[in-house]
Amino acid sequence: MAPLTVSSILKGLPVQDRVHMFADQFKYIETGLVIGAEKQKSQFRRGDIAFMVSSGSVCVFVKDSSVSPMNPIGTVLSNLEAIESSRTGDVLILKRKESP
């Protein structure tokens, strides 16, 4: 994917912000991070996670989409429904997974 982008996001964790929705394609939160373009692509599938350089946002796709180029950073492996059911204004926190 985009290793420099992922590394910058991991160093910036935890990140917390209100959920925003772009059309019916993806939900996103603004991170305040400034990261340049890296291995960008425009086609994303439901569950893909990308970084939108123009706004410093982490985006989670809720449907297959063709959008402006973004840095691909991963895929939701479980509980995508929790993100899909979030509403604009809900608070989403990105943090490292806690060890058992």
Per-residue pLDDT of the chain (100 residues; tens, 9 = 90+): 899 999 999 999 999 999 999 999 999 999 999 999 999 999 999 999 999 999 999 999 999 999 999 999 999 999 999 999 999 999 999 998 876 6
Which residue range is the domain that position 45 belongs to?
Answer: 3-88
Query: 93 in a domain, yes or no?
Result: no
Residue 64 within a domain = yes
Domain-embedded: residue 99: no
Cβ atoms < 10 Å from Cβ of 63: 13
Is there a domain that residue 14 lies in?
A: yes
Q: Is residue 38 part of a domain?
A: yes
Domains in the chain, number: 1
Q: What angle do CA 42, 63, 92 make, to 5 degrees?
A: 95
CATH of the domain at 53: 2.40.100.20
Q: How far apart are CA 77 and CA 73, in angstroms?
A: 13
Q: Strand locations in the chain, DSSP E?
A: 15-18, 20-22, 26-30, 41-44, 48-52, 57-61, 65-75, 91-94
Q: What pTM was estimated for this model as a whole?
A: 0.93
Report the C-alpha gap between 79 and 100 in whole angstroms: 19
